[in-house]
Amino acid sequence: MKCLECSRLCVAALGAAVLSLGLARSQGGPDTKALRFDRAALHAQAVEESLKPIRPGVPGKTPFWNRRAQMFLYVPAFEFEPVRGARIYRFTAMAYGPGWSFEAKDPKATLEPIWKHLPDGLLELQFSAIGLPRGDALRIHGPAEYKPLTFEKKPGMAPPSFDLAPVKGATAYRFTVRQPKTFVFEAEHPWAPLTPIWKDLPVGKVVLTVEGLESKGGKRLSYATYAPNGRQAVVFERKAVFNGPYHEPAYDYIDAGERWLRWLADV
pLDDT digits (tens, 9 = 90+) for 200-243: 999 988 999 999 999 887 889 999 999 999 999 999 999 988 87
How many Å apart are CA 215 and CA 188, to the nearest integer?
A: 10
The H or E element spanning position 64 is none
Peptide bond into 245 cis (omega under 30): yes
pLDDT digits (tens, 9 = 90+) for 31-87: 545 556 677 888 888 888 888 988 888 888 889 888 888 999 999 999 999 999 999
How many Å apart are CA 11 and CA 172, to the nearest integer?
A: 48
Query: Cβ contacts of residue 230 below 8 Å, gap of 6+?
Result: none
Is the Cβ–Cβ distance between 193 and 77 less than 8 Å? Answer: yes
Q: Give me the pLDDT at residue 136, please.
A: 40
Which tops the pLDDT comparison, 200 or 134? Answer: 200
